[in-house]
Amino acid sequence: MEWESPFKSDILKGKVALLTGGGSGIGLGISTEFGKHGASVAIMGRRKSVLDSAVSYLQSLGIPAIGFEGDVRKQEDAKRVVELTVKQFGKIDILVNAAAGNFLVSPEDLSPNGFRTVLDIDSVGTFTMCHEALNYIKKGGPGRSSTSGGMILNISATLHYTASWYQIHVAAAKAAVDAVTRNLALEWGTDYDIRVNGIAPGPIGDTAGMRKLGPEEISNKSKEYMPLYKLGEKYDIAMAALYLASDADRGEKEQKEERRRVKKGLAGNV
Ligand code: HXC
């Protein structure tokens, strides 16, 4: 369904966003709304055909968009894509980690390597992208002012808040993503003026995750327990992401001095 955005169409004007998994699902929803609100968009993904069709779609909306093939599990890919994004658009203001791996399997049938694979994509991949983007997204990075850093947004889930059938690996991976988000928000918010945020979507319609996790009969039944009697939409997540990426969400600069003192006090123990 097409909605009219409640935000002004230029709230991300001049900003550059790099999104992993930005060519499909929730990632593409965010890429689209970022672009429609003025951002230039680079998307990273493993499948060339997915990237190509997403880039064509974004460009058809008049959005400056480019796709880079890469796997977030490979540090060299992360580094290359970050550097290519800066080469193409001059800077990075926003990094969105939306790449994820998922399959349904019971714990007894899941090999340790299967468990590791999903953690590698979701959790280590998220950290790797943040790590490689730091020098560009921190205050004083290329194209940035000396006082203002950019924004990192990590997409997790809610299934690890309790427990979910056949999702032990994904639950562990998303719990780690949330931990990365909180710790970077503290450390890089304090040191580099980077706002690190997370969005934890519940079930979102028309996504690979939902197709795998929620066959229609389950989705229809579970709607009865949902306050609005409907699944979330990619647009809902994109709008939340848009707010967080915009200048409406600013950190409290005054609190940072106090945090720096605390950190300095601990430095001797590192
Ligand atoms: C059991 C499986 C498996 C399956 C892979 N493995 N698929 N085990 N059941 N269906 C195991 C393999 O046996 C192997 O372990 C290990 O995982 C690595 O498998 P590969 O196929 O070599 O890995 P790779 O080719 O890198 O593919 C990774 C993948 C990929 C995760 C399996 O297929 C993938 O990314 N799929 C789709 C992405 C996706 O669905 N994205 C949407 C995410 S939605 P062994 O021991 O045999 O070597 C999402 C939402 C979550 O994240 C929250 C929802 C509410």
Q: Which of 43, 14, 36, 55 lies closest to 150, judged by CA?
A: 14
Are the beta carbons of 129 and 135 closer than 8 angstroms?
no
Residue 231 has pLDDT above 60, yes or no: yes
| Residue 165: predicted pLDDT | 92
Atom nearest to 71 CA in ligand 1: 26
Atom nearest to 202 CA in ligand 1: 55
Burial class (CB in 10 A: 0-12, 13-18, 19+), 107: exposed
Are the beta carbons of 68 and 42 closer than 8 angstroms?
yes
Q: How far apart are CA 77 and CA 44, in angstroms?
A: 10
Q: How far apart are CA 147 and CA 108, in angstroms?
A: 51
Q: How far apart are CA 163 and CA 224, in angstroms?
A: 20
| Residue 207: predicted pLDDT | 84
Centre of ligand 1 from the C-alpha of residue 115, in Å:
9
Any bridge partners for residue 197, and if so which?
A: 153
- Here the ipTM equals 0.96
Query: Quick one: pLDDT band at residue 258, thresholds 50, 70, 90?
Result: confident
Centre of ligand 1 from the C-alpha of residue 192, in Å:
35
Q: How far apart are CA 256 and CA 69, in angstroms?
A: 37
Q: What is the mean pLDDT of residues 96-101?
A: 98
| Residue 241: predicted pLDDT | 98
Residue 70 has pLDDT above 70, yes or no: yes
| Residue 215: predicted pLDDT | 66
Centre of ligand 1 from the C-alpha of residue 102, in Å:
5
| Residue 245: predicted pLDDT | 97
Measure Cα distances from 232 to 19, 200, 207 in Å: 21, 12, 10
| Residue 29: predicted pLDDT | 97
Most informative mutation of 50, 74, 102 for ligand 1 (most atoms within 8 A of CB):
102
The pTM (predicted TM-score) of the whole model is: 0.94
Tokens standing for 62? 């008049």
Strand blocks (E) in 21-83: 40-45, 65-69
Residue 1 has pLDDT above 60, yes or no: no
Angle between helices 234-245 and 25-36 (to 10 degrees): 50
Better pLDDT: 129 or 249:
129
Q: How many CA atoms lie within 13 A of 134 on its CB side?
A: 13
User: What is the torsional sign of CA 84, 85, 88, 91?
Assistant: negative
Q: What is the mean pLDDT of residues 43-61?
A: 98
pLDDT, one tens digit per residue, over 117-168 is: 999 999 999 999 999 999 999 999 999 999 899 999 999 999 999 999 999 9
24-28, 119-123, 174-178, 222-226 — which is least confidently predicted?
222-226
